[in-house]
A and B are shown apart, each in its own frame.
Chain A
Amino acid sequence: MDHIDPRARFIFSFALLFSATATWNPNILFVIFLIAIIWYSMGRLTWKETKVGWFMISILLFTMIVVNTIITGGGAGGVVPPGGQLVWPNGFELFGKHFTFGLTVERLWFAVSQLMRILSISLAFIMIPYTMDSRAYGATFSKLGLPDGLAYTMELSFRFIPTLARNFQVTLDAQRARGFELDGRKGNILHKIRRIAPLLIPVTMNAIVSSEDIANAMDLRGFGQSKRTWLHELIFHWWDWVLIVFSVIMLATVLVLAFRFNMRLFSVPQWWYGLFSK
């Protein structure tokens, strides 16, 4: 993954995002999902590195799929037509009690489709921060056509993070030495929110005051006077072009299938019905 140009990676990730969101067709979604798995495995990321991200995604998936689609059915309302074949037409027994549950075979398949779609997008985007050199962001966005000012803003903000994190810690320690308690239990919610002010104000105001000096130093060095060059140079290799061409073909194929051949709408494969027929 390190050898792939960041521009090509962003182009691929966005092509995959638009492809996955252009259709609910199960076959197309399955192919996109497979492509996303292959792409993610190329990153060689470990579980330890990404577990926080996957924890967040699992909460998102649980809310969207288990709660909204399977339990309440609300999440499927916009795509799955009303009615359908019940998974348990006569209800089911649990702990000696009889339950009826209106889950349909169609809604269950929609949950699978949602899982394939959201996981495909997650697989493509979750790996970006773990596999991309932070020094390359400015150059990447500049070469993708973003104005130099905006691209440099991204680059600069990466550089400020360690400084501001240190300032935050120093301010927190200084305020604690003065008896400041962020997690004090007294007072109502308004008081609890306002308690953050002694920490937020010095950190923010110090950052603003110091930015004046940085802006003056940049002006003195002629920032913005001519086209900017980047220390981190990006060079396209043949494999980057292959990835870009593949991305374009993938997106174009999905769009043609979805809109020209009417494969855009949600549908349930026959074999899925077979799993629930007695």
Chain B
Amino acid sequence: MEADTTVKKKIWAFGTKEVVYAAIGAALYAVLTWAFNVWQIPGAGNVGIRPAIVIPMFFGIAFGPIVGFITGFVGNILADMLSGYGFWIWWDLGNGLIGLIPGMFSALIYRYNETKSILLGEASVVLGSAVGMAVASLSELWVSGADMKTVIFANFIPAFLTNIVWGLVLLPILMIAYAAILKRSGR
């Protein structure tokens, strides 16, 4: 069954399905982050941080910006709670934006396994990570009094790079798998 590209997607809708998708997304992000926190991957130390970051990106692409935002925002709060890291509102907000921006691209994506859709998804990963991590990192200017150089090199670049490495590789795989699920279920 082919997706109907003539029907405009209501990306800002937040009904019952979106409530459940957002809750599932947040819980999934938290569980996977927690699981990979305690289970480091040998030999990939520099990129062995948060493969689960792809979850808010994917939920944004699949279910819209609000679901993407909540998945990242609430998921990061829960992940930090599970890991015992406390509550860091600006980094939670940054993670929310990592899901929200791909969600804005979801209006342009109908068939998840097309090259065009995957390229849009990849672009959203880069843009979302850049904006999300910029907001979170810039908060350190205000919170800790760090200067711009420190914020860029100690906060922004490491977080941005690891996020896009995971996102660029894993998002297309999830999009193709989701396309297969949609086809199988006739949606």
- A residues touching B (Cβ–Cβ < 8 Å)? 13, 17, 21, 24, 49-53, 56-57, 63-64, 67-68, 74-79, 110, 113-114, 117-118, 121-122, 125-129, 149-150, 152-161, 163-165, 168, 182-183, 185, 189-190, 192-194, 196-197, 200-201, 203-205, 207-212, 214-215, 218-219, 223-224, 266
Contacts and interface: CB of A to CB of B under 8 A. Distances in A.
A157 B55 CA distance: 14
Contacts of B115: none
Contact of A64 (B16, B35, B83, B146): B146
A78 B54 CA distance: 34
Interface residues of B, number: 66
Interface of B: 14-24, 26-28, 30-32, 34-35, 39, 41-44, 47, 51, 54-55, 58, 62, 70, 74-75, 78, 80-89, 140-150, 154, 165-166, 169-170, 173-174, 177-178, 181, 185
B27 A52 contact: no
B87 A129 contact: yes
A118 B144 contact: yes
Which DSSP category, helix, strand, loop or mixed, fits chain A's interface? helix
A158 B82 CA distance: 11
Contact of B23 (A68, A160, A200, A266): A160
Which DSSP category, helix, strand, loop or mixed, fits chain B's interface? helix
A193 B147 CA distance: 33
A175 to B, nearest CB: 13
B32 A168 contact: yes
A153 B174 contact: no
